[in-house]
Structure 1
Amino acid sequence: MSSRPSRTARTIAGALVASTAALLAAGLPHPAAAATPPAPSGKPSAHATAAVLDLDGTGRTTVVRGADRAYDTASIVKVDILAALLLQAQDAGRPLSKTERDLAEPMIRRSDNAAADALWRRIGRASGLAAANERLGLTSTTGGPGGRWGLTRTTASDQIRLLRAVFDSGGTVRRGSGGLDAESRARMRSLMSRVVSGQTWGVSAAGDPGSRPVLKNGWLRRSATGRWDVNSVGEITARGHRYLVAVLSDGNASMGDGISLVERTARAAL
């Protein structure tokens, strides 16, 4: 299969490379205040890992393709931030406030970074994320330093654990313990099913044609190398089964290359 990005991927990449928001996805300095990243050089060094769980299968075992090592999350951590926020609201015995709802929606649907900044602070940054992840069963995710939520580190298998907390049936939920309740899971699924059209690439490429994408993507150009982290996580429907799929990648020469790698890897993993 050709590694050349599709016309859609190139269009998306061109628009987002020019966007300040794309470069702020990890809470990095504004480009006007930072050195210009060097252009990627040498042979391509991109890597990707995929993890898949068949929700309708009998084994219910996560299958990992590639080395299950840690990658930068970029904006896929916004799913985790929302999960932490919802757990904290559950523990307080309250629904999300209007302000929290007004921040959560653009954070997931448009990958709005300012909204993520505000909610990252509200959950208690890395320590709040860690507390939520312990309850949700994540074992290999470490929150980014300070305000840099996009530099959270995670593995593909840990992202499947997070997706299970959102898309699988919930267990016993009590205040201060247990996972996301039915209302919280429904809110997260709803937002992930309504991401803006320019951000529906990624794991959706492995789904049945015409099926509705339910996902969250992340992209970040690292200033030290000029190369891109490109990630995608979500639920897809393929051949009559529901699958949870997480694809993480780094070292991409461009965002378009990263999108192509993520989509090829998702298809191969299925």
Structure 2
Amino acid sequence: MTASVSVALSERSYGDDGRAYPCASIVKVSILAARLLRGGPLTGPERELARAMITRSDNEAASALYATVGGPPGLDAAHARLGLTATTADRAWGLTRTTARDQLTLLDAVFGGGFPELAEVTALMGEIAPEQSWGVSAAGEGWALKNGWMPMRATGLWVVHSVGRAAGGRLIAVLSEGHPTMAEGVAAVEEAVRTALLPPDPPVG
């Protein structure tokens, strides 16, 4: 299987034709957004779960909040409200399927100001644990991101994603799968980020 990488940037996408990928942990952004869209502030315990889920990618915290929003029906309802059209929730939240374009739509909802109740998501995506702050951050400082990674049980190959706001305030979603190792997936994602966001080197001579 050849690795696949899809990129969506500022309402422009390439490297895919609406290809859907399993979300892995980038779905945690959606889970928190779904809870916040239900209305009312997070409780103290929910705030602790949200911080663990986003900044450290804690899976138990994600499962607890997923139950709070009503599982797949609740997540699908939140996605519909936010304008995602090609994302389908799964009972196992990490297997929710999405596209780069839909992730860009989600990022626009989170960072664009149209949903002020999602400001807490923005803040937490800027506080990612250092060991998980790869991907979108390859374009420079000032990032806010969420990454996702997991080996697929059927193949052993890795899904590796990075979504967020890059340096300069540009929104980008990079989704990929089919990598022999996580490290190779991270390298491919960061190369895609740099290619999409950084100016080319000036000609020599």
User: Structure 1 vs Structure 2: percent identity of aligned residues?
Assistant: 50
* Aligned residue among 170, 185, 202 for 1:258: 185
Counterpart in the other structure of 1:137: 83
Q: Tell me by how many angstroms 1:267 deviates.
A: 1.4
From the two aligned structures, give the one with the greater helix fraction. Answer: 2
* Aligned residue among 194, 211, 232 for 2:162: 232
SS of 1:48's equivalent in the other structure is: strand
Structure-to-structure mapping, 1:80-119, within 5 angstroms = 80-88=30-38, 90=39, 94-119=40-65
Deviation readout 1:140-186 (Å, 9 max, x if unpaired): 10001x2x10000000000000001110021xxxxxxxxx3x2x332
Say whether 1:246 aligns with 2:198. no
Cα distance in 2 for residues equivalent to 1:101 and 1:76: 18
Unaligned runs of 5+ in 1: 1-43, 54-61, 171-179
Kindly indicate whether the alpha-carbon contact (under 8 Å) linking 1:200 and 1:213 is maintained by their aligned counterparts in 2: no
More RCO (CA 8 Å, sep 6+): 1
List structure 1 runs of 4+ shifted beyond 2 angstroms. Answer: none
SS of 2:170's equivalent in the other structure is: strand
Q: TM-score, normalised by structure 1?
A: 0.71
Alignment: residue pair count: 196
Deviation readout 1:83-135 (Å, 9 max, x if unpaired): 000001x2xxx211112111101000000000001011111111100111111
Counterpart in the other structure of 1:4: none
Structure-to-structure mapping, 1:36-47, within 5 angstroms = 45-47=2-4
Cα distance in 1 for residues equivalent to 2:35 and 2:109: 14
Structure-to-structure mapping, 1:93-242, within 5 angstroms = 94-144=40-90, 146=91, 148-170=92-114, 180=115, 182=116, 184-206=117-139, 208=140, 211-237=141-167, 241-242=168-169
Say whether 1:52 aligns with 2:9. yes
Partner AA of 1:119 in structure 2: L
Q: Tell me by how many angstroms 1:75 deviates.
A: 0.1
Kindly indicate whether the alpha-carbon contact (under 8 Å) linking 2:37 and 2:118 is maintained by their aligned counterparts in 1: no
Cα distance in 2 for residues equivalent to 1:102 and 1:74: 21
Say whether 1:65 aligns with 2:14. yes
Q: Tell me by how many angstroms 1:204 deviates.
A: 1.3
Cα distance in 1 for residues equivalent to 2:119 and 2:34: 15
Kindly indicate whether the alpha-carbon contact (under 8 Å) linking 1:77 and 1:150 is maintained by their aligned counterparts in 2: yes
Deviation readout 1:24-61 (Å, 9 max, x if unpaired): xxxxxxxxxxxxxxxxxxxx6111000001xxxxxxxx
> If you compute each CA radius of gyration, which structure gives the higher value, 1 or 2?
1
Cα distance in 1 for residues equivalent to 2:147 and 2:15: 19
SS of 1:115's equivalent in the other structure is: helix
Two-structure CA RMSD over aligned residues (Å): 1.0
Cα distance in 2 for residues equivalent to 1:135 and 1:185: 13
Cα distance in 1 for residues equivalent to 2:85 and 2:137: 26
